[in-house]
Amino acid sequence: MSLNGKIALVTGGGRDIGRSISQRLAADGAHVVVNYHSDQASAEATLAAITATGGSATLHRADVTKADEAAGLAAAAGERIDILVNCAGGMVARKTLAEMDEAFFDQVMTLNLKSAFLVTKAALPRIPKGGAIVNLASLAGRDGGGPGASIYATAKGALMTFTRSLAKELGPQGIRVNALCPGLIGTSFHDIFSRPEGRAATAGNTPLRREGHPDEVAAAVAFLASDDAAFITGANLDINGGLGFS
């Protein structure tokens, strides 16, 4: 799955799944623009890991929930963006409906859905025929998520629908749009938001009896971004070890 000569932009690319995606795309030959917002140290560690193995990458700080900064990020990538990966997102906090207020709703929806809209809109004039967009949705978008994750799950479900809609809209331009729906992947997300006992139980109920690794998500992104997936668009690909289907 050679990506030689491709330019890739990865939002939230400095840590966890985003870091693995950035490293994998660079290893496959792409020059990767690694976007980060506040965690500069992690982003610099990602850049160092890429360059240490002979890969090519640059860093660009931007808050992708703001239109002007999303536009600046797209411009920083250059005249051409062959691969766009919308990975920025997060749960923010677990809250029941009674605990939420309007500001929290707006924050979670903006972080997970509006960010993808803003970056995709800004990047689109630079995406050529044959380009690929990969969005990072979630199993929560299919099953409603765990306790206190209703708005996060709603945002990810909307991102899945956005993916299908864009696939129809951009297909005639030769641009493919797909999404990944990770289940339990071993990242700081679950270190923060999942209790150890619940996390272990979920892994035990997965047919493969384990958590996923960020590199496994990255491998799927690399496939969807490559010419090997040239006739795949509008897909929301589950990567969850069979969770929810056993």
Q: Which two tokens stand for residue 92?
A: 């923010």
Q: Exposure of 118 by Cβ count < 10 A (0-12 exposed, 13-18 middle, 19+ buried)?
A: buried
Q: In what order do the strands lie in the sheet with 236-239?
A: 56-61, 31-36, 7-11, 83-86, 132-136, 176-182, 236-239
E strand spans, the chain: 7-11, 31-36, 56-61, 83-86, 132-136, 176-182, 236-239
Our CA angle for 170, 176, 179, nearest 5°, is: 110
Contact call for residues 142 and 157 (beta carbons, < 8 A): yes
Contact yes or no for 3/28 (Cβ under 8 A): yes
- Angle (nearest 5°) at CA 21 between 207 and 12: 110
- Whole-angstrom distance, CA of residue 91 vs CA of residue 95: 10
- Tell me the backbone φ, ψ of residue 240, rounded to 5 degrees: -145, 15
By annotation, the residues acting in catalysis are 152
SS3 call for 78: coil
